[in-house]
Amino acid sequence: MTKTAFIGLGAMGAPMAGHLHRAGLLAAVWNRSRDKAERFVVEHPGAALPQTLGELAAQAEIVLICVSADDDLRAVVEQIEPGLRAGSIVVDHSTVAPATAREIASRLSARDVQFVDAPVTGGVEGAIHGRLAIMAGGEAETLARLEPVFAAYGKLWRHLGPAGAGQSAKAVNQLIVAGVAEAVCEALALVEKLGLPPEAMLELLGGGAAGSWFLEKRGRTMLADSFETGFAPALLLKDLKICRALTEEAGFASSILGPAVADYQRLVDAGETGKDISALIRQKRRG
């Protein structure tokens, strides 16, 4: 049976690694904050916690990574390289720039190691329930080898082209996410301003053409001013800046990105402590 190792046990990574454990595919885990990894292995008997990333890579055929940013990914890849063998596969589930994915694919190719950039979408809920959508760039033959792995936590995965294609697709996804978040947060702030009954409005909006995943999953918590679960504003801001660079490179004018980047920059600069992008409603309430 395929042996995998998972690096990055955050809000998304921990449940993804848990699904691999339940499928009998997980050999080892690692996290920058070691206490998280120690708790994980206690709760998932049989998963090892090596002392170094090189040791972790040596225990697996497939190494999966889920970290926050480009430099984090580069640092992890550098540390796992001594343990990688020819024929190994490294899968990056982080959201980084397509150029970074291509850079790492080239670096690992020199070691006869395959690289797949495979960012995910579906939120924390999708990770918990094993219902993520996976956007993959790399060799088609490599992706075929990954099907049992992706099946553990994904509901859908597609090969989109060479290395970097997955990250380009994720930028498109985040453009939609930002546009929907802008509209829903602004609309619900207006619901409050007009004194409309919130519960009735959530039912009506969700039951018609204005319905969306974001409204369904975040509407009630937004109106309750609760932002404890989800996707951190600082991470979306990072993703939108990647998307902005891509649109500029492509000569594509986006009417969404400018306002969204500005709004989330203000939110982050104000020291927003909410753990979900729906905290943007706090900016919208201020007008």
What are the structure tokens assigned to 227, written together?
């932002």
Instruction: Give the predicted TM-score (pTM) of the model.
Output: 0.94
C-alpha to C-alpha distances, 51 to 11, 33, 58, 286, nearest whole angstrom: 22, 13, 12, 49
Comparing CA positions, the residue from 83, 145, 74, 148 lying closest to residue 114 is 145
- Could you tell me the maximum CA-CA distance found in the chain, to the nearest angstrom? 63
pLDDT number for residue 287: 75
Contacts with 180 (C-beta within 8 Å, 6 or more apart), sequence order: 212, 213, 214
Average pLDDT of the residues in 32-39: 97
**What are 175-194's pLDDT values in tens digits?**
999 999 999 999 999 999 99
**What are 254-286's pLDDT values in tens digits?**
999 999 999 999 999 999 989 999 999 999 998
pLDDT reading at 104 higher than 90: yes
Residue whose structure tokens are 């004018």: 253
**What are 42-91's pLDDT values in tens digits?**
999 999 999 999 999 999 999 999 999 999 999 999 999 999 999 999 99
- Say if CB 50 and CB 80 are below 8 A apart: no
pLDDT reading at 137 higher than 80: yes
User: Which amino acid appears at position 251 of this protein?
Assistant: G
4-162 is classed CATH 3.40.50.720 = yes
pLDDT number for residue 124: 93
User: Which amino acid appears at position 265 of this protein?
Assistant: Q
The beta strands (E) that lie in the chain are given as 4-7, 26-30, 62-65, 89-92, 114-117, 120-121, 132-137, 154-161
State the catalytic residue, choosing from 3, 36, 170, 217: 170
The CA distance from 163 to 195, in Å, is 50
3 part of the active site? no
**What are 193-233's pLDDT values in tens digits?**
999 999 999 999 999 999 999 999 999 999 999 999 899 99
The CA distance from 72 to 80, in Å, is 12
pLDDT number for residue 229: 87
The CA distance from 47 to 25, in Å, is 10
Sign of CA dihedral 189, 193, 197, 201: negative
pLDDT number for residue 100: 98
pLDDT number for residue 88: 97
Sign of CA dihedral 259, 264, 269, 274: positive
pLDDT number for residue 64: 98
Q: Indicate the domain borders of the chain.
A: 4-162, 168-285
Q: What is the DSSP letter of 158?
A: E
Top CATH class, 168-285: mainly alpha
